[in-house]
Amino acid sequence: MPRPRLCRCVKFRPHTRYFKPQGIPLRELEEVELTLEELEALRLKNAEGLEQIDAAKKMKTSQSTFQRILASAYRKITEALVEGKAIKINEA
């Protein structure tokens, strides 16, 4: 039986849910799904300029878990930019 997933502290709710390449209809694009946890990690690290330890404390998680969340977000955003995919911010 897998370990239950912990609830992370996310204090940011974006108004925009999609980002896509210009000039291509959304129905023609593949999507990459970014979770709210991943978006919050990016916000804390890059927009707020926090060190990983401080950002992890704000999200109420360990530094190593924060690093995994951040790495996943970077991987997904890189895939979207390099391969021309849309980015969907998922509520779940």
Task: Just give the CATH number of 18-90.
Answer: 1.10.10
pTM for the structure as a whole = 0.83
Q: What is the pLDDT of residue 13?
A: 73
Would strands 86-90 and 31-35 be described as parallel, antiparallel, or unpaired? Answer: parallel
Query: For the chain, which residues make up each domain, given as ranges?
Result: 18-90
pLDDT band at 15 (very low <50, low <70, confident <90, very high): confident
Q: What is the pLDDT of residue 1?
A: 64
**Number of Cβ atoms within 10 Å of the Cβ of 22:** 4
Please say if the pLDDT value at position 10 is more than 90.
no
pLDDT, one tens digit per residue, over 33-55 is 999 999 999 999 999 999 999 99
- List the beta bridge partners of residue 81: none
Could you give the CA distance from residue 86 to residue 6 in angstroms, rounded to a whole number?
Answer: 28
Could you give the CA distance from residue 5 to residue 51 in angstroms, rounded to a whole number?
Answer: 24
Q: What is the pLDDT of residue 45?
A: 97
